[in-house]
Amino acid sequence: MIFASFEFLFLFLPVFLAVYMAAPGSWRNPLILVFSWAFYAWWRVDFLALLVGVTVFTFYVALAIERAGPGSARGRRLMALGIAGDIGVLAYFKYANFGVDTFNDLMRLIGHAPVGWAEIVLPVGLSFYVLQSVSYLVDVQRGTVRPTHSLLDYAAYKALFSQLIAGPIVRYSDVSSDLRGRKHSLAQFGAGSREFMVGFAMKVILADTLSPVVDAAFALPAPSAADAWLAAITYTLQLFFDFAGYSLMAIGLGRMIGFHFPRNFDDPYLAGSIQAFWQRWHMTLSSFLRDYLYIPLGGNRLGVRRTYVNLLLTMAIGGFWHGASWNFLLWGIWHGALLALHRAWSTRGQEAARAERSDRRGEDRRDAFPQPLPGQDQRRGGDRRAARRPMPWLLGHLLTLLCVMIGWVIFRATDLAGAFAIYAGMLGLNGGGLSDALAWQLTPDRIGTLWLAIFFVYLPLLLAALRRRGVWPQAGGALASFVWAAWPLAAFLLAMVLLYSRAAVPFLYFQF
C-alpha cells in the first residue's frame, strides 16, 4: 500500500483516523501498532515477522545495555552484538544477491560454472528501520537516550506507518516524548493535512507526470546530447518531487496524530555548494551519516588526509546503503570526492594556521560533516586572510547542480553500461538532436510539467525577492492567508483527478 493510492486515501487512512481519534489516550499507541502492522502486511504478511523480530531483538539488547551501564565495556560489547545482528539481517536480504552475482561473474571469468542461487526478495522499508535500530542502540550506549521499558511503545515507534517505508529516518529521541504523551488540536491536524496535500501534489502532479519521460530516456541504447541532458534534468526533478513529496506526506501524517518528525528537505537544488546540498538533501540521512559514521571514524580531528578518507568512506557506505549495486557505490564515492574537493577549496591556506592554533591552545578541530566548514562559521572566527575568496553563489549553484545531475545519472541507470551511455550522450558522442523515440513522449502536459517543476524549484528565491521589495504581501495579510490556505487543496484535488486517470506510480525510494 502506498500513500498515493485510493486504498490508502479512502480506506486505510479514514478508518485509522476515525478509530484513533475516538479512542482514549491509553489506547492510541496500541492502535498505531496494530494499524501500522496491517499497513505493512498489506504488501507481504510474511515479512511482517522480520519487522517484529528486529523490533524485539533491538528492544531487549537496549535494555541489556542499560543494565550493563552506558559507556561500559560490557555495554559496548552488547551494542556491537546488537548492531551486528541488525546489520546482518540487512546484509542478507539486501546484499546477498549482489555478493553471489559478483562471485559468479568472477567464476565465469576464470572458466568455472556459476553457483546456483535463488533470488532473495528485499523487504520494503528494511534499510530504514535497520538504521533506526542502529541509532537507538548507539544512543542508548552513549547515554544520550534512555531506553523505553515498554515494548509496545517501542514497537509502535518502529512500525509507525507514516515513516516506516521510506523515512524520514526518525530517531527515537525525536519522538520519545510524543510516544509518552501527545497533544492533539484542530490547528495541528490542519497543518498536518496541509503538508500531506502538498506532498501528495508534488508526487502525483510533478514526479509521476515526468516518470514516463525519464523511463523512456534511460531506456535509449545510444542517447543523443538532447536525449541525455533531458534524461538527467527530468530525473533530477522527478526524484526530488517524488522523495520530498513522500517525506512531506509522512511528516504531515505524523503531525495529524501528534508526532513531530524532523524535516527531510530544505530546497536542496538551491544550494550554492555540494556541502550545502548535503545539508539540505535527505537531511535525516545526512545527520545519521555524520553522527554514526563520519564522527566515529574521526571526522576532521585526525588530520587533513584522514578527513578526506573519512569523507570518502562515509559517502561510499552511504551510497552502498541505497542499494546493492556498483552504481550506488560509485555514486557515493563521487559525492565523497566532491565533498573532499569542496573542503580542500574552502580551507586552502587555513589548515596550517588552524593546526598551529590547535597545538598552541590544545584544542580539537571541530567536526564539519555536513556542518559549516571551519572558517565559514562567523561565530568561530578564524584566519580569513588565508582563506580562498568565496565563489559567487550563482557560479557555485550551477556547478553544484551540474555535479548533482551527473551523480543522479549513475544513481538512476540500471547498470554501469546504461550510465556510461547517458554520459556519452551528454558529451555529444551520439549526435545532438532529440531522437524520435523520446520526442513522442514530450506531450504538452509533460513539457508544461517540466517547466512547472523548474519554476517550483526556484520559487523560494522569487518569493524572497518579492518580499524584500514589498511586492508580495507579508505573511498574515489577507491575500497571503487566502493563497496559503487555498492552493494546497486545489493542488490536492487536481492530483486526485490525475491519480484516477492513470495507474499509481510507486515511490522511488521504496526500492531502497
Q: Which residue numbers are catalytic?
A: 322
Phi, psi dihedral angles at 233 (to 5 degrees): -70, -45
Q: Please state, in angstroms and rounded to a whole number, the distance separating the CA atoms of residues 438 and 268.
A: 28
Helix ranges (DSSP H) in 5-125: 6-7, 13-22, 25-41, 48-68, 73-90, 96-109
- Select from 36, 37, 34, 56 the least CA-distant residue to 45: 37
Q: State the virtual CA torsion across 29, 34, 40, 46 in degrees, nearest 10.
A: 130
Which residue type occupies 120? I
Q: Give the bridge partners for 429, in sequence order.
A: 431
User: How many CB atoms sit inside 10 A of residue 13's CB?
Assistant: 20
Q: Please state, in angstroms and rounded to a whole number, the distance separating the CA atoms of residues 98 and 442.
A: 36
Phi, psi dihedral angles at 59 (to 5 degrees): -60, -50
Residue 400 CA, chain-centre distance (Å), reads 18
Q: Which residues lie below 8 Å from residue 158, measured CB to CB, with a gap of 6+?
A: 51, 54, 55, 58, 129, 132, 133, 164
Q: Is 299 left (phi over 0), alpha (psi -120 to 50) or beta?
A: left
Q: Is 74 strand, coil or helix? A: helix
Helix ranges (DSSP H) in 298-415: 304-322, 326-346, 351-361, 393-412
- Select from 40, 496, 22, 423 the least CA-distant residue to 218: 423
Q: How many residues does the chain have?
A: 512
Q: Please state, in angstroms and rounded to a whole number, the distance separating the CA atoms of residues 14 and 137.
A: 35
Q: For the chain, state the CA radius of gyration.
A: 24
- Select from 94, 303, 267 the least CA-distant residue to 311: 303
Is residue 135 within 8 A of residue 364, CB to CB? The reply is: no
Helix (H) or strand (E) holding 499: helix 478-501
Q: Please state, in angstroms and rounded to a whole number, the distance separating the CA atoms of residues 331 and 315.
A: 8
- For residue 127, with 0-12 CB atoms within 10 Å meaning exposed, 13-18 middle and 19 or more buried, which class applies? buried
- For residue 253, with 0-12 CB atoms within 10 Å meaning exposed, 13-18 middle and 19 or more buried, which class applies? buried
> What is the Cβ-side half-sphere exposure of residue 187, based on CA atoms within 13 angstroms?
1
